[in-house]
Amino acid sequence: MDHAPCHAPDPAQIAALIALIGRDSFARDLAQVLADRFGCESFHIFLYRKAQGPAVLANHPDPPAHARGLQNYLSYTHVINPAYRAFQQGHTPGVYMISDFFPNGSADIAQPDIDVHIEDGEPIGYRTPGWPRNMAEVIVLIVLPNGTALDFSFLTPLGSTRTSACHQTMTWLFPALDAVLQRQFAIHPASLEADHTPADQEDRFQDFGGDTLTAREREVAQLILIGHSSGSISLNLGISLPTVKTHRRNIYSKLQISSQAELFSLFLLHLK
């Protein structure tokens, strides 16, 4: 039976959040409260900063079972992650499904490759190396006064009642969680910082194919990489669907590849 681990918060749970304010170990203790009192089984608390890669403030469980996938995300795959890109583009704080950031429909599906896995069962159409299979993500995005943001990424089995229950709980909880974090930042901002975050990969994203592709082809390739289908590319660039398909064929030919999976793999090699 699929038991939903997330539920509506009660006053005692809100009080547990408030009791964390001022602690040096705030992020780690917050993760424990979310796990113990709200039943959230698997999640990360990421710190996002403009023009920098993400950092982890807390994980549950710690260490996570998918440590390789997490490290890949922090090092380079974040640049094509919908939630990370939404923050960099000034998205409104709130509670989302990862698919809410995914532009105008899922990506076209190709065959799995050894590095990036293009899978129609995944919410965003692909799974990057080492990330757990068939997981939905509930995202809570909270922006702090200094312009940084926290991304609470809750992982739940795809298609389970846990996902909708977690989304509902976090929607109810959002005003209290946001207020607690704003107060914590005012009192102890260092507790919501990270010593180091990797360099942002945006420049590498923008120059992918620069020596080979035309400016329009690079635009199309970038939209493919962040999840746009051919129809979505047509709408976003104001060009016809046959023109998009022509650009895709030209991109594959010039890069000497034959599939979307190979495009992802080539891009990740470019980042590395």
SS3 sequence of 144-191: CCCCCEEEEEEEEECCCHHHHHHHHHHHHHHHHHHHHHHHHHHHCHHH
Q: Which two tokens stand for residue 109?
A: 């599906």
Q: What is the CATH architecture assignment of 11-192?
A: 2-Layer Sandwich (3.30)
Q: Fold for 202-271, please state it.
A: Arc Repressor Mutant, subunit A (1.10.10)
At 156-209, the pLDDT tens digits run 888 889 999 999 999 999 999 999 999 999 999 999 999 776 677 788 889 999
pLDDT in 10s for each residue of the chain, 272 residues: 444 445 567 899 999 999 999 999 999 999 999 999 998 889 999 999 988 889 999 999 998 888 888 888 888 888 888 889 889 989 999 999 987 876 554 444 333 333 454 444 444 444 565 566 778 889 999 999 999 999 999 998 888 899 999 999 999 999 999 999 999 999 999 999 997 766 777 888 899 999 899 999 999 999 998 888 898 899 989 999 999 999 999 999 999 999 888 898 899 888 87
Cα 251 to its chain centre, rounded Å, is 26
How confident is the model at residue 107, as a pLDDT? 40
Contact 260, 120 (CB under 8 A): no
Q: Which two tokens stand for residue 12?
A: 């005692």
How confident is the model at residue 122, as a pLDDT? 41
Contact 228, 102 (CB under 8 A): no
DSSP three-state, residue 116: coil
- One-letter identity of residue 140: V
Contact 118, 264 (CB under 8 A): yes
Determine the angle formed by the axes of helices 260-271 and 241-255, rounding to 10 degrees. Answer: 60
Kindly report the three-state secondary structure assignment for every residue of 69-102.
HHHHHHHCHHHHCHHHHHHHCCCCCEEEEHHHHC
Nearest alpha-carbon partner for 39 in 23, 18, 60, 58? 60
Q: Where are the domains of the chain?
A: 11-192, 202-271
